[in-house]
Chain A
Amino acid sequence: MTTVAPAEQSGLADTSVPARAHVELRGVSRWYGNVVAVNNVSFTLGAGISGLLGPNGAGKTTVLHMLAGLLRPSAGDVLIGGEPAAGNPNVYRRLALVPEREAVHPFLTGREFVRMSARLQRLPDADAATARAIALVGLADAQDRKVGTYSKGMRQRIKIAGALVHDPPLLLLDEPFNGMDPRQRLQMMDLLRELAAAGRVVLISSHILEELDDLASNVLVMVAGRLAASGHFREIRRLMTDRPHTFTIRSSDDRRLATALLGDATVFGIEIAPAGLVVRTTDRGAMTRGLPRLARDAGIRLLEIRPTDESLESVFSYLVDR
């Protein structure tokens, strides 16, 4: 496991977090029958925005649902402000989850949906809180339309308004940028920054590293149910860029090209496979720039250069295997 900051203490803890929004996972696992969805994960969260990054199926949603008390951990403790989250409806006074699933009661208007949240939270002035939350997500103009007529981005925002209506210090968002166009994405990022600047603890899950760029200061990376890395966004980003890259190359003469490539200092592995040459390099940029010249000098014609490990899974699993 890569510990940019050791995962046991995780380095994300911050003394400025209000005690009632303090989040702690201690050795948390969750399995469904024989399938382990989350495996011995521990972390705490600091103030501001943290990202929960990982490929689909890594267990991000399971972690968020355990934090929100919708799932019981099979082992370990999930504590919100020192209290277990599951089976404890009182935690919902201080935390809110914006689930990934799009559906919102289609027969309610946006305002009715948010006011329902306010009333279920027993807010003293539900109407004022509703108006405030709707203004915050910029849906005042559409608040009296049925949610069934909303676009994906609007539905995402009304869900956030419903979650924010009681002003919770802890906000969990599952893939909030899914289905948003670039403009909506920017608005959402501004909104999340605003919320974090007001002192909230915000946790956002995503399977796209770039989404968290400029947004999350801290990142938790999950791969195959385990916490693979945690630390500052820039550190994680550097690790991912500097990792070894593998290319598959087909040329007019693979054997001679292999010999020529052996002289390249950034190449540390070559394999002659039926599909072509499998070349491992530490410097992806130098490789892609230098290869055409190298081939031309040797009089070899390049037929195809294909990166073989660009799937997100391989990027993340590199962090685990390192």
Chain B
Amino acid sequence: MSGPIDRTVMWLTWRQLFARRRLWLAIVFALAPLLFTLVFRVVGDDGPESRLAFFGGLDRDVVVGTLLPLAALLFGSTAFGGELDDGTLVYLLLKPVPRWKVLASKLVVAVLSTLAVVAPAVLLPWLVLGDSDVSGRTMLACLAGAAAGAAIYVAIFVALGLANRRALVIGLLYIIAFEGLLSRTVSGLRSFSVREFSLSLTKAAGAATIVSGDTVSTATVWWMGTIMLVGAVYWSFRRLVHYEVAERA
């Protein structure tokens, strides 16, 4: 097959990303919002408005604010990270497959894996709450916003995984310090926050009922989001094409 995606590289990446421990973590991430929703139904359900408010809080803070960046970090930084560490990347580089195809295949798998965690995290609570209080349109808007965020986050974390062996720690600090604190408190930094992009797109896609108030303008999201996405992918491409196996010390 001669498209930009190599199926064998994708297969290998699936196997890498869902190796035992990560698979369990992914399942926990995907099901945690469902658990919260069940608890809410039992102890905190005060009618339609509270259900909408609950779903909004769940999407903004739990899914987009926490699970999305963590899942993207988990899969993005592992897409190359493990192979660089133990040297097994050479087995892909020593094959008649251009390096940009290796990168494209791994990016696609990491984004799909992140979506596989985020989609049930949005969909299952919505099914429990029922579509009379939270519209299907709202739920789809949340999915769309999360998908866009997944693409940008994964691009950033794949680049980070190619740049540094401690990508997981650095990425975690970035998520906590920048996405969690700085971009929320320093207004000038909001136009650099993937979380803000994701929420702005969720609102624009039709979920104004749960993402209210001031968000980054859609134009800013398109510009900055595209620049960050393309920039990170291009940087990874350069890095991989110029990657040289260092001689063992």
Residues of chain A having any CB pair with chain B under 8 Å: 32, 37, 61-62, 65, 68, 70-72, 87, 89-90, 92-93, 96-97, 99-101, 103-105, 107-108, 113, 116-117, 119-122, 162
Contact = CB atoms under 8 A, between A and B. Distances in A.
Nearest to A37: B247
B148 to A, nearest CB: 31
A124 B245 CA distance: 30
A97 B94 contact: yes
A92 B244 contact: no
B2 to A, nearest CB: 10
Interface residues of B, number: 28
Contacts of B97: 89, 120
23 contacts: A61-B248, A62-B247, A70-B245, A71-B244, A72-B244, A89-B99, A92-B95, A92-B96, A93-B96, A99-B87, A99-B90, A103-B87, A104-B88, A105-B88, A107-B15, A108-B12, A108-B15, A116-B11, A120-B6, A120-B9, A121-B95, A121-B96, A162-B91
A92 B102 CA distance: 15
Contact of A101 (B6, B12, B87, B93): B87
Nearest to A105: B88
B16 interface: yes
B164 interface: no
Contacts of A104: 88, 91
Interface in B79-115: 86-88, 90-99
A81 to B, nearest CB: 14
Interface string B219-249: 0000000000000000000000100110110
B94 A105 contact: no
B16 to A, nearest CB: 7
B8 interface: yes
B78 to A, nearest CB: 12
Given A103-B86, A105-B16, A107-B19, 18 more contacts: A61-B247, A61-B248, A62-B247, A65-B244, A70-B94, A70-B245, A71-B245, A72-B244, A87-B241, A89-B95, A92-B94, A96-B94, A100-B248, A101-B86, A103-B87, A104-B88, A104-B91, A120-B97
Contacts of B6: 120
Contacts of A107: 15-16, 19-20
